Structure 1
């Protein structure tokens, strides 16, 4: 039987969820390229609305930014390497794939959510040593955030027959209520809400972490990366494309004016408008009537539309920081590799900022995962660090050259500038690949020889120098 207080909280959160769905469809339309302006100064005639073109500027921008947000591990305070246990949880929950979807949702709508729960002991597919971590978009989840502390007070996950929220059928069929002490699932029935399952976790925190895309401190619920200026530029490009299509339909073919010509003179079947049209657009027209005359108007010039589109594309580049080659406008001479990297500087810096913002949410999610499995947090977990792949795009040869120089160069005391492990991290090798390389290092012939020779010529705890000469044991050998 559902508790009255829980039902009251559930009703409030579902109403809040419904109230925050406004604007999500518009965000998605701009991302999908289906947003179409309906006004061109005056209202767009119905006959011309089919010519409204979808512009994929927002998808290009969001995709270019999200492609640079790749997590490679999590490191606890005081550790030199990524934590193996947390990374196993990451892999077991397929977060390599779903994390990119969460970043995309957060960039589009301003928010996504990371949900945590303990493994289900009755599910044979659940590993009892791995917590469950999932990523959901704002069309399914809503979290009530305390504006004073910035922490989640309660959260709700809303489903309608396993389909996302729809305005034409707002009544959900399944709802999951998340509180600091429990997670409860409800099913809609004729008698109202009935409890489907209930888990008393007593974590003290809600196992829901908002993945927010923020640009201001006041954006406690995030802000879409598809800003107002990007949307207005998209609308302007769509209108310019529509005008160009309209002009091409009506005036791209030179217009002819015929005098003294009857319709039956144009074709052998005047009742067939298609044949009349074919005769009209023909390049050569001849008439037997000596009184027939024809004049021709010049075809419309479409260059002004293409120049407007070029200008709007450059405006879009200034708003988004996308390099020219991403928006298909370049100079006649191809840019050098250094010039291409320089053009990506602003995009790389934006990606670094997003890594910093999203990293805090992923660290909080992993702390909750540790709480779910261990029941407590070590001090090192409070200073966890998210390890991100370098968002820049240098060539592998250039990166390898720089890393080799740092790994082989020596400091005044004879040590390398960076250790081998750091070099492998900079080259982008994953945690598993680096561990495999270390195993190969230990199995190499040089390492095995050093292991065999060291006990024979050196006593434990004693170092041999050239001044001391060989030990008696060495001479006897």
Structure 2
């Protein structure tokens, strides 16, 4: 089926918008993978010296340090105080414990991420929730209502004899699947879901008012990564040419480097032996002073300190450790800015995941969730030790006479709803056993 003029106009616009972001996406991806090429300021680096290029992959450190601390704990339906087992079942059915980690990293690398929700023909009780590639998706955002009016995913299909280019168009009331044929895009399938919402959720990093592109978490770090890479590359070259004392010899000729058969002595043999043992009384042998490479080390450490100041990551994340290991309290204090950064991102991403699970419920039950949005709860992004946490919780619980209840203490320890349910069952079982034992003792006495 051919496209209407309105749909064709949307496709053309969305495809052009995606093309405009592709160069930046490729560059950010290379920096995260550590495969970027160095730009040497004012210097032409000979091809034979390219082998010395070295990059300190602080971009990956910057991204992973944040993403690895974003872990979803539970979802709460509006007005409910107990986590929803249905929503967590859907979370587990779609393997989102690991997929959400991928979304977090992609969002931090590219500045944006997308999650789609749709019906599941193989398992209707658990609609599909999929983390999509942000390099393939672009959206049109309604600035007044702050939601998407349309979105598209453009992707390459395996060459099985059919068209190589395909696309999925998302609209509030329908989803269209397209293929690019000889005469342009054609519709090959459609789903008139009548949701009233685009079944796609966009996650933005460092979102600004009126801006819907997002910013890579690595943007501020990249200039210092380049600077450090140039310093490390120069260190590599200097290590090869200046760190080992260079030797010199004066007053010797080519004939002094011949063996008894008048054959030239191999270069390495001449370097290690013939220079030092020769019969030329006029020869003078010596060595230059080796270069001190400390300036390269200090410069690299300086760049690491600047990156630490910008990102809020502890300086030890960039290879600079103190002689004595930090204490537990010092670790928490050292990570305070990192923890606050993760908590802020959890707040923003929590709204997105609440929207995702709202779509999930709509596909699962056929009805929208009533009331406010679905609330999210995240695991503590800090890194206290288990003993430290248990000690604090024990004091707050105080054997039932403290500030918090038994179940609240479990929450503080980060237990899941399933684990808490199992523990209640075990407590009830122990209570029944204790009561049966007491009744048996009373019966024996009587």
* TM-score, normalised relative to structure 2: 0.90
Q: Work out the CA distance in 2 between the residues paired with 1:178 and 1:301.
A: 61
Matched residue count: 434
Partner residue of 2:70? 69
In the alignment, the residues of structure 2 paired with residue 278 and residue 32 of structure 1 have an alpha-carbon distance, to the nearest angstrom, of: 43
> 2: distance between equivalents of 1:21 and 1:272?
58
Deviations 1:125-157 (A, max 9, x none): x21111111011211221221233321111111
Q: CA offset at residue 77 of structure 1?
A: 2.5
Give the distance between the partners of 2:386 and 2:379, measured in 1 at CA.
Answer: 14
Per-residue CA deviations over 1:64-88 (Å, capped at 9, x if unaligned) read: 1111000011112221111111111
Q: 1:177·1:183 contact (CA, 8 Å) conserved in 2?
A: yes
Residue 22 of structure 2 aligns to a residue whose secondary structure is coil
The whole-number CA distance in structure 1 between the counterparts of 2:114 and 2:49 is: 41
In the aligned structure 1, how far is the partner of 2:316 from the partner of 2:327? Answer: 12
Structure 1: distance between partners of 2:274 and 2:243: 14
1:111, 1:137 within 8 Å by CA — same for their partners in 2? no
User: Displacement of 1:432 after TM fit?
Assistant: 1.7
Aligned partners of 2:203 and 2:346: how far apart in 1? 11
Q: Is structure 2 residue 393 aligned with structure 1 residue 403?
A: yes
Secondary structure of the structure 2 residue equivalent to 1:383: coil
Does 1:60 find its partner at 2:61?
yes
Equivalences for residues 429-468 of structure 1 within 5 A = 429-446=415-432, 449=435
Structure 2, gaps ≥5 residues long: 440-446
Equivalent residue, structure 2, for 1:243:
234
Q: Separation in 2 of the partners of 1:223 and 1:447? A: 59
Q: Is 2:141 aligned against 1:150?
A: no
Aligned to 1:467: none
Q: Which string of whole-angstrom CA distances, capped at 9 and with x for unpartnered residues, describes residues 196-226 of structure 1?
A: 3211101111011101112532442211101
2:155 alignment partner in structure 1: 159
Query: For the residues of structure 2 that align with 1:283 and 1:332, how far apart are their CA atoms?
Result: 45
Take 1:247 and 1:308, find their aligned partners in 2: how far apart are those partners? Answer: 14
Q: CA deviation at 1:281?
A: 5.1
In the alignment, is the contact (CA less than 8 A) between 2:143 and 2:210 conserved in 1? Answer: no
Q: Does the Cα contact within 8 Å between 1:36 and 1:235 map onto a contact in 2?
A: no
In 2: Cα distance, 1:284 partner to 1:262 partner: 11
Give 2:173's aligned residue.
181
- 2:403 aligns with 417
Change in CA separation of 1:36 and 1:377 when aligned onto 2, cut-off 3 Å: same
Given candidates 212, 216, 223, the residue that maps to 2:208 is: 216
Moved more, 175-184 or 318-327: 318-327
Alignment-derived partner of residue 19 in structure 2: 18
Moved more, 345-354 or 433-442: 433-442
1:323 aligns with 2:314: yes
Displacement after TM superposition at 1:118 (Å): 1.5
What's the secondary structure of 1:24's corresponding residue?
helix
Q: How does 1:221-240 map to 2 (within 5 A)?
A: 221-228=213-220, 230-240=221-231
Q: Counterpart in 1 of 2:442?
A: none
TM-score normalised to structure 1 length: 0.85
1:261 maps onto 2:252 in alignment: yes
SS at match of 1:204: coil
Distance 1:20-1:172 versus aligned 2 partners, 3 A rule: farther
